[in-house]
Amino acid sequence: MGDVILTMKDIDKSFPGVHALDHVNFEVRRGEVHALMGENGAGKSTLMKVLTGIYQKDSGSITYKGQEVAFHNTREAQDNGVVIVHQELNMVGDLTVAQNIFIGREPKKGIRVDDKKMIEDSKKLFKDLNIEIDPREKMSNLTVGKQQMCEIAKAISHKAEVIIFDEPSAALTEKEIADLFVIIRDLREKNLGIVYISHRMDEIKVITDRVTVMRDGGYVGTLITKDSTKEDIINMMVGRVIYEDPKEHSMVAPDAPVVLKVENLNAGKMVQDVSFELRKGEILGFSGLMGAGRTETARALFGADPKQSGKISIMDKQSGQLKEVTINSPQDAVKYGIGYLSEDRRRYGVVVQKSVNENTTLATMEQFTSGIFINKAKEKEVSEKYIKELATKTPNGDQLVVNLSGGNQQKVVIAKWLTRDSDILIFDEPTRGIDVGAKNEIYKLMSKLAAEGKSIIMISSEMTEILRMSDRIIVMCEGKVTGNIDISEATQEHIMDKATRNIN
């Protein structure tokens, strides 16, 4: 480890209603990989956005190479050698790989952009990184993993001295991660300062030198990686020890009937021949890497996206028999008692500009209408019942959903499906963007629902969540089901092995 290249001291940042960063300290040395860890919403990304000029800090100081700096935009940060590889890919799909890498600083030949030079330079970059990508390919034609590699190549091409990787491995296969680590080690050799944001504890142990932990927008502490244990880090992240043990065995009665049977579902590239069964009262975990096709499976099952083929059978409430159904739209799915809780609540879950009451009754309007008129009193009554039952924190039902926290927004979505009396609930990343305390509440709620006889499909990228909640785990990889594991036999290694089975 070399000398300190970057110091962030007492960084403070507020957004309306949220104290996002509370006097955070952070430093990076040359030639180190420094992990930045914390739960979702701990403020890691915000801190890095302040550093790279996307947000402006309210107070505090940033010292870079011995001088106090305040970058006003990413461009300025880039020009000074501070580059971020974003978590969400920031690529212009309609341009080629080379055009994307050099966007904003195209080499010129007279008035024309020198595409030839760009392609040559890109080739050189990829060669150095040992990646095989054609720089002339259109960006939108690449896989997520390849796009990520392009993003890294772009960052490196900036003559960066500090590179920030914001959860780079989320979308990558094991092999790609291994390649990435080779690249990162190489960059460390070259005396760059590297910030590595990740959730994956194993990676942190393998690749990083130091770990800084954040919690609820505050700075918790910094550890030397090789001198600390996983538990040390987790304790710092969650504040109190609530890291619950995985479920030991399935909670589902052995004679519980199958309520949903999916056979050979096909929908585009991401869903190929997917088959599985869901039993009454079961929490069925869906595990896999980002881009494995889990969300796509759920959306195809729910009728949100078109499917090419597949047989879906649902238990008929009266006869108790499985019956084949046709689901071509969310309306059909809802009619058969399926509810879908999206990973992106603000986009697909709630109507943020509307009230809690209005959101609660959105899927069940016909229960609240006489003729075409809405019975607002009844609406209010039911909504308030669920506010109490789910302990949703809101002053009243007229509050706009935009003013609620992530956890409470999730509860509003749950209320929506409970109003509908849906028997099958699909939770897609149920705790993404929800703080630790609320997370536990959501877990308890899901367990309670399952115990009451609801059946739950839970898609999750967090291994601890999968192991803690599921009764059975379906593992997907590149659009195919590669594993169907009972919780009693599930281990993290076992699941990861299946999740990367198709690859290589």
Partner 1 sequence: MEKLKQNPIVKKLGLNRILLVCILILMFVVFKVVLGSKFPVGDSIKSTLNYVYFLGFLSLGVTFVIATGGIDFSIGPVMFCCALVSGYCMTSYKVPCAAAMVICVLIGLAFGIFNGWLVSYLSVPPFIVSMASMNIAKGIASVFTKTQSVSWPLASDPANGWFRNIVSYKGFPVGLVIFLGAAIICGIILYNTKPGRYILCLGSNTEAVRLSGVDTKKWNMLSYVICGVLVGIGALFFVATYTTVQPGYGDQYNNEAIAGCVMGGTSMVGGLASIGGTVIGVFIISLLQQGIMAFGLGKGQQMIITGIIVIVAVYADVSARRRKN
Partner 2 sequence: MTKKKKSIISDQRFIVLLVIIALSAIFSIMSKEFRQYTTLLSMLDFSYYDLLMAIGVTFPLITGGVDLSIGTGMVCYALIAGTMVRSHGWPVAAAMVLCLVLGIAIGALNGVLIGIMNLPPFLATLCTCMITRGAGSLCSATPWPGLTQDGGWFHTIFKITVGTGRSASRYPIGFLWMIILVLLMEFVLNHTKFGRYTIAIGSNKEAAALSGINVKFYHVMVYVVCGLFVGLAAIAYAAVTPTVQPGTGAGLEMDAIGGVFVGGVAATGGYGSVIGTFVGIFVIMLLKTGLPYVGLQANWQQIITGLVLIIAVLIDIIKEKKKAAM
For partner 1, the closer of residues 15 and 243 by Cβ is: 15
Q: Which stretch binds partner 2 (CB under 8 A): 88-96, 330-338, 372-380, 450-458?
A: 88-96
| Binding status of residue 290 toward partner 2 by CB under 8 A | no
Which range touches partner 2 (CB under 8 A), out of 40-48, 67-75, 172-180, 390-398? 67-75
Binding status of residue 360 toward partner 2 by CB under 8 A: no
Could you give the 3-state DSSP secondary structure of residue 351? coil
Written as six digits, the tokens of 436 are: 């630790």
The interface with partner 1 within residues 344-383 (CB under 8 A) comprises 347-354, 358, 362-363, 365-366, 369, 372-374, 376
**Please, which residue, 158 or 346, has the CB nearer to partner 1?**
346
Q: Which is nearer to partner 1, 40 or 375 (CB)?
A: 375
Contact flag: residue 260 with partner 1 (CB under 8 A): no
Among residues 264, 169, 308, the alpha carbon closest in space to that of 480 is found at: 264
In angstroms, what is the minimal distance from the CB of 212 to partner 2? 24
Nearer to partner 1, 403 or 447 (CB): 403
User: What is the rounded distance in angstroms from the CA atom of residue 438 to the CA atom of residue 444?
Assistant: 10
Question: Phi and psi dihedrals of 375, rounded to 5?
Answer: -90, 95
Q: Is 335 near partner 1 (CB under 8 A)? A: yes
- Which among 239, 174, 224 has a CA at the least distance from the CA of 200? 174
Q: Three-class SS of residue 432?
A: coil
Residue 329 touching partner 1 (CB under 8 A): yes
Residue 303 Cβ, how far from partner 1 at the closest point, in Å? 9
95 belongs to the binding site for partner 2 (CB under 8 A): yes
* Tally of CB atoms within 10 A around 84: 26
Binds 115: which of partner 2, partner 1, none (CB < 5-8 Å by kind):
partner 2
Nearer to partner 1, 401 or 445 (CB): 401
- When the beta carbons of 88 and 366 are compared against partner 1, the nearer one is 366
Among partner 1, partner 2, none, what binds residue 93 when CB lies within 5 to 8 Å by partner kind?
A: partner 2
* Half-sphere CA count of 501, side-chain side, radius 13 A: 17
Task: Tell me which of 16, 66, 104, 254 binds partner 2, using CB under 8 A.
Answer: 104
Of the candidates 257, 261, 314, the one whose C-alpha atom is nearest the C-alpha of residue 281 is 257
Give the integer Cα–Cα distance in Å for 61 and 70: 8
Structural tokens at position 17 = 């209603």
Among positions 11, 48, 82, 91, the unique one binding partner 2 when judged by CB under 8 A: 91
User: Cα separation of 291 and 395, whole Å?
Assistant: 39
Binding partner 2 (rule: CB under 8 A), the pick from 112, 159, 240, 347 is: 112
310, 376, 400, 416, 418 from 365: Cα distances, Å: 30, 11, 18, 10, 13
Interaction pattern, residues 294-323, with partner 2; x per rule: CB under 8 A: ------------x-----------------
333 binds partner 1 (CB under 8 A): yes
Among 23, 72, 108, 354, binds partner 2 (CB under 8 A): 108
- Please tell me the distance from the alpha carbon of residue 386 to that of residue 388, in angstroms, as a whole number: 5
Which residue among 45, 99, 392, 431 contacts partner 2 (CB under 8 A)?
99
Tokens standing for 320?
């108790």
- 42-67 in b/e form (b: 16+ CB < 10 A) is bbbbbbbbbbbbbbebeebebebeee
Tell me: does residue 116 bind partner 2 (CB under 8 A). no
Radius of gyration of the chain (CA): 24
Nearest distance in Å: CB 140, partner 1: 20
Q: What are residue 7's DSSP bridge partners?
A: 27, 63
Residue 226 lies near partner 1 (rule: CB under 8 A) = no
Q: Which is nearer to partner 1, 219 or 427 (CB)?
A: 427
Neighbouring residues of 57: CB distance < 8 A, sequence distance ≥ 6:
11, 12, 13, 21, 50, 70
Q: What is the DSSP letter of 348?
A: I
Q: What are the start-end ranges of the E strands in 198-347?
A: 210-215, 218-224, 258-267, 271-279, 283-287, 309-315, 322-325, 338-341
Q: Exactly one of 64, 102, 219, 340 binds partner 1 (CB under 8 A); which one?
A: 340
Q: How far is the CB of 330 from partner 2 (least distance, A)?
A: 18
| From 96-104, 169-177, 424-432, 460-468, span contacting partner 2 (CB under 8 A) | 96-104
CA angle 316-317-322, nearest 5°?
Answer: 25
Q: Which residue has the tokens 């090419």?
A: 308
Question: How many other CB atoms are found less than 10 A from the CB of residue 441?
Answer: 18
Binding mask of the shown chain, residues 245 to 274, with x at each position contacting partner 2 by CB under 8 A: -----------------------xx-----
Which listed option, partner 2, partner 1, none, makes contact with residue 60 (CB within 5 to 8 Å by class)? none
Tokens representing residue 450 in the block: 């399952």
Write out the binding residues for partner 1, residues 382-421 only, by CB under 8 A.
416, 420
Identify the residue among 295, 342, 399, 431 touching partner 1 (CB under 8 A): 342
Strand-pair category, 210-215 with 33-37 = parallel
Verify binding: residue 93, partner 2, rule CB under 8 A.
yes
Q: How far apart are CA 223 and CA 213, in angstroms?
A: 8
User: Is 65 in a helix, a strand, or coil?
Assistant: coil
Residues near partner 2 (CB under 8 A)? 54, 73-76, 78-79, 86, 90-95, 99, 103-106, 108, 111-113, 115, 268-269, 306
Residues near partner 1 (CB under 8 A)? 302, 304, 329-331, 333-335, 340, 342, 347-354, 358, 362-363, 365-366, 369, 372-374, 376, 416, 420
